[in-house]
Copies of this chain bind each other. A is one copy, B any other.
Amino acid sequence: MDAADHSAATGRPSLDLSLDAAALTAALVDLPSESGHEKALADAVEDALRALPHLTVDRYGNNVVARTALGRAERVVLAGHIDTVPIADNVPSRLDADGVLWGCGTSDMKSGVAVQLRIAATVPAPNRDLTFVFYDNEEVAAHLNGLGHLASAHPEWLHGDFAVLLEPTDAEVEGGCQGTLRVVLRTKGERAHSARAWMGSNAIHAAAPILARLAAYEPRKPVIDGLEYHEGLNAVRIEGGVAGNVIPDECAVTVNFRYAPDRTEEEALAYVREFFAGCGVAEFVVDDHSGGALPGLSHPAAAAFMAAVGGKARPKFGWTDVSRFSRLGIPAVNYGPGDPLYAHKRNEHVVVDRIHHCEERLRAWLTA
């Protein structure tokens, strides 16, 4: 039976993978799946994949994994999240006369998911074994992330030699990602009435060396696999003060270190500790830490991928889920049709040609 009949019979929404990738993107957008509400879409994805005889399908929560088992020398993972940020009056989707598709998730990242599904449906005998991963809760707190849950519960499902995350990159390859470490540095003092300041000790003044050192920071820009990363060490918050007439006894400076993927998490932490040595920091508390991911472009599968998709890889400065693959020992890149500048925006959109371009380039790589 066709998709509409299937839907009528089961009460579950269905997806027609014979649609072209742009129409499929529109269908995905029109099936809302804000974070935490991915079940209907996960059901539809699972049903559509189970209908493909060359794939083995597994499901864990609202995460769906489909694999070929052709005994190829290499296995490639194509991954994407199926959730979106909250809809902002931008669903259903709308295709304009200029070939631009508008709507929540068009860029981040239902156009990427559509490309995954089209490859799954149309490349039954790829030159590398394929694993398709569709996961939930990427747009919310890290502990909810479906890829993280899969990596914990079923790491063998994610096994592979190389991974492509179809996050929006404007159809350019973005390699690896920088790590991010957030630390709260506290200085201490002693309260006193500000009319008799010499009876106390000012914790805000004590933060002066911390800010001076930050202001003098020079970022490192290492080149890794040919990509120039760009580190950053910044105060993102400062707070201190009790009342308008009280010498403050505490000041907290929150700093965010964005570091190139040639540093391990331990090295990054040691660097920040050392950077603020002698600044009078009374308390050093790690608030948040996610390691980076090496671009892995020297891997043979990656080199073939680069040759197939063309263009010049760029470094990824922000943290992305490629880091999770990196932890599993799988080099990974971001490569997807969406424009990252419009992700999470009311006017989110994708250029339809970009979707077809990505699909065509991936197909070329996997069928060469």
A196 touching B240, Cβ below 8 Å: no
User: Which chain A residues in 3-58 approach chain B with CB under 8 Å?
Assistant: none
The answer to whether A278 has its CB under 8 Å from any CB of chain B is no
Q: Given A244-B182, A244-B288, are A197 and B234 also a contact pair (CB < 8 Å)?
A: yes
Decide yes or no: A234 and B195 within 8 Å by CB, A208-B208, A211-B208, A241-B239 being known contacts. no
Chain-B contact segment, one of A128-136, A150-158, A212-220, A261-269: A212-220
* A193 contact set on B, CB distance < 8 A: 318
In the assembled complex, the CB of A295 is this many whole angstroms from the nearest CB of chain B, namely 16
Check: A67 CB closer than 8 A to any chain B CB. Answer: no
- Asked whether A235 and B244 contact (CB < 8 A) given A198-B219, A205-B214, A214-B208, the answer is no
What 1/0 mask marks residues of chain A from 249 to 293 whose CB sits below 8 Å from any chain B CB?
Answer: 001011010100000000000000000000000000001100000
A204 at the interface (CB under 8 A from B): yes
Q: Are B230 and A236 in contact (CB under 8 A)?
A: no
- A298 interfacial by beta-carbon distance below 8 Å: no
A11 to B251, CA, bound (A): 55
What is the distance, in angstroms, from A178's C-beta to the closest C-beta of chain B? 6
Minimum CB–CB distance for A279 against chain B, Å: 12
* Pair B247/A197 contact, Cβ less than 8 Å: no
Complex: chain B residue closest to A247, CB-CB: B234
In the bound complex, what is the Cα–Cα distance between A202 and B232 (angstroms)?
11
Judge whether A77 is part of the interface by a CB distance below 8 angstroms. Answer: no
Instruction: State whether the Cβ of A245 lies closer than 8 Å to any Cβ in chain B.
Output: yes
A178 to B196, CA, bound (A): 11
- Chain B residue contacts of A180, Cβ below 8 A: 194-195, 245
Q: Is the CB of B237 within 8 A of A195?
A: no
Number of this chain's copies in the complex: 2
Size of the chain A interface, CB-CB below 8 angstroms? 47
* List of B residues within 8 angstroms of A215 by Cβ: 205-206, 208
A317–B317 CA distance with the chains assembled, in angstroms: 53
Q: A1 at the A/B interface (Cβ < 8 Å)?
A: no
Residues of B within 8 A of A198 (CB): 219, 230, 232
Closest to A237 in B: B241
B241 touches A236 (CB 8 A): yes
Is A365 part of the contact surface with B, judged by Cβ < 8 Å?
no
User: What chain B residues lie within 8 Å of A194 (beta carbons)?
Assistant: 180, 232, 234, 236, 256, 258
- Say whether A243 faces chain B, with CB atoms less than 8 Å apart: yes
Counting CB contacts under 8 A, is A342 at the interface? no
Contact of A246 among B214, B232, B236, B251 (CB under 8 A): B236
A238 at the interface (CB under 8 A from B): yes
7 cross-chain pairs, A with B, having the tightest CB-CB distances, nearest first: A237-B241, A208-B211, A197-B232, A204-B235, A195-B318, A208-B215, A205-B215
